[in-house]
């Protein structure tokens, strides 16, 4: 979720390198060995690097247990090697192992809570394209959305009704929505920053909108030019107006793990913003790791706090892949009960507020992983790969999807 209203120039913004990165994001700043003490106020439980100890996290509606791994002790590498060999044989002789009680218990532990179906919210047409320096023709945007819909995606975020002065790439929002009016089988939400944006979206024929707040005070001021509390007042008016028109509203929360200015964000702050959006009437809350610094450990703490105040079925996750942690973060989110994932075709997108921050997690990679887990998405991976190839060809760049690159070399 990038800048959408009067972004500051890059020269005025701190990059990740100019923020005290080591202090804010290193193990000394907030170590995983003390993740609960550091992230959730009032919780005295801590994890440990000692393999002999177990760690249990309890946050009202969610319980997480980390079990010790068997590792070589006293130079007994043979036993460890045999264990690895057993895992290798399990993949080659599945039938002989499928009835093994121990393996079944491990499988149940790993996959317990993972949903059978995951809804993917495709954000490439908006979040992916909005920061492109070269103007993308309206016809290409429309065809991209049509191709995305043809893959089976049920939700494709189409565009944003924001000031063309600040986001010129999306100045054709009206033309895009008008061309897609008859696509009733797929939801096509559009982002709006205020009542003026809502009015423009409704006039163009939009049937669903999204609003965006931040868990970071500094990011809120630089991104939408108001404080967090001021944004609540603004969006409450938008949601009330949309509700009267029977228009569904989705809410975004940015900087749910960290901020390029403030560093790490406490989960309690994320929970507060998410609850405000939910209470004002948002039907779904997407939690965005805007600069992509999250790891499974920090995601667990953040989700645990938010899930204590917002029903899990109303939550979505939105990860950027700056440090290559998006898929692990999605997996642990699924294990916690999340069943809605945002992603972007070919990994398009980025964050102008953090130099070096890469794009959103690629939809192709997410679908490949989910299908490998036996989770239904109703998305055709083959068509998705073709769609990624289509937009990358127009943008003149290589796909940001590792799955797409691998399939292209087969």
Phi, psi of 122, rounded to the nearest 5 degrees: -80, 125
Would you say 302 and 267 are in contact if contact means Cβ atoms under 8 Å apart? Answer: yes
The DSSP element (H or E) to which 284 belongs, if any, is strand 284-289
- Classified as helix, coil or strand, 269 is helix
CA-nearest of 173, 152, 169 to 161 is: 173
Is the C-alpha dihedral spanning 342, 347, 348, 353 positive or negative?
A: positive
Q: Which two tokens stand for residue 152?
A: 């089976």
392 belongs to the catalytic site: no
Residue 318, H or E segment: strand 315-319
Structure tokens that stand for 362 in this block: 């690629």
Retrieve residue 129's tokens. 């394209």
Q: Which two tokens stand for residue 166?
A: 């600040």
Other beta carbons within 10 angstroms of residue 82's beta carbon come to 9
Residues 287 and 270: their CA atoms lie apart, in Å, by 8
Please tell me which residue in 38, 259, 351, 392 is annotated as part of the active site.
351
Q: Are 271 and 279 in contact (CB under 8 A)?
A: no
Active site residues: 351
């Amino acid at each position: 979720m990038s800048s959408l209203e009067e972004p500051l120039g890059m020269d005025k913004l701190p990059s990740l390198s100019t923020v005290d990165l080591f202090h804010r994001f290193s193990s000394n700043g907030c170590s995983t060995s003390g993740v609960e003490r550091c992230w959730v106020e009032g919780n005295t439980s801590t994890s440990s690097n000692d393999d002999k100890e177990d760690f249990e996290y309890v946050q009202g509606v969610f319980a997480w247990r980390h079990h010790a791994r068997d590792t070589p002790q006293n130079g007994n590498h043979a036993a460890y090697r045999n264990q690895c060999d057993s895992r290798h044989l399990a993949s080659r002789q599945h039938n002989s192992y499928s009835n093994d009680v121990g393996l079944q218990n491990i499988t149940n532990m790993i996959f317990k809570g993972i949903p059978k179906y995951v809804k993917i919210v495709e954000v490439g047409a908006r979040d992916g394209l909005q920061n492109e320096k070269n103007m993308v023709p309206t016809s290409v945007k429309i065809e991209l959305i049509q191709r995305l819909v043809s893959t089976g995606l049920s939700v494709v975020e189409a565009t944003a009704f924001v000031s063309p002065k600040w986001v010129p790439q999306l100045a054709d929002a009206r033309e895009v929505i008008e061309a897609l009016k008859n696509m009733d089988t797929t939801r096509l939400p559009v982002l709006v920053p205020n009542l003026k944006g809502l009015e423009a979206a409704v006039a163009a024929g939009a049937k669903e909108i999204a609003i965006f707040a931040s868990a970071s005070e500094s990011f809120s001021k630089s991104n939408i030019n108001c404080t967090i509390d001021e944004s609540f007042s603004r969006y409450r008016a938008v949601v009330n107006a949309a509700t009267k028109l029977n228009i569904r509203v989705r809410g975004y929360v940015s900087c749910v793990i960290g901020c390029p200015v403030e560093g790490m964000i406490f989960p309690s702050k994320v929970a507060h913003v998410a609850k405000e959006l939910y209470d004002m009437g948002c039907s779904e809350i997407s939690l965005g790791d805007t600069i992509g610094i999250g790891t499974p450990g920090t995601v667990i703490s953040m989700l645990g706090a938010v899930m204590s105040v917002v029903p899990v079925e109303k939550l979505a996750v939105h990860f950027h892949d700056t440090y290559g942690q998006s898929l692990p973060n999605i997996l642990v989110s699924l294990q916690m009960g999340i069943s809605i994932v945002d992603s972007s075709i070919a990994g398009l997108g980025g964050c102008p507020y953090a130099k070096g921050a890469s794009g959103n997690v690629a939809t192709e990679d997410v679908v490949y992983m989910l299908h490998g887990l036996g989770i239904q998405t109703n998305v055709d991976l083959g068509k998705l790969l073709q769609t990624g190839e289509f937009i990358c060809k127009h943008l003149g760049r290589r796909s940001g999807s590792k799955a797409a690159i691998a399939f292209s070399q087969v």
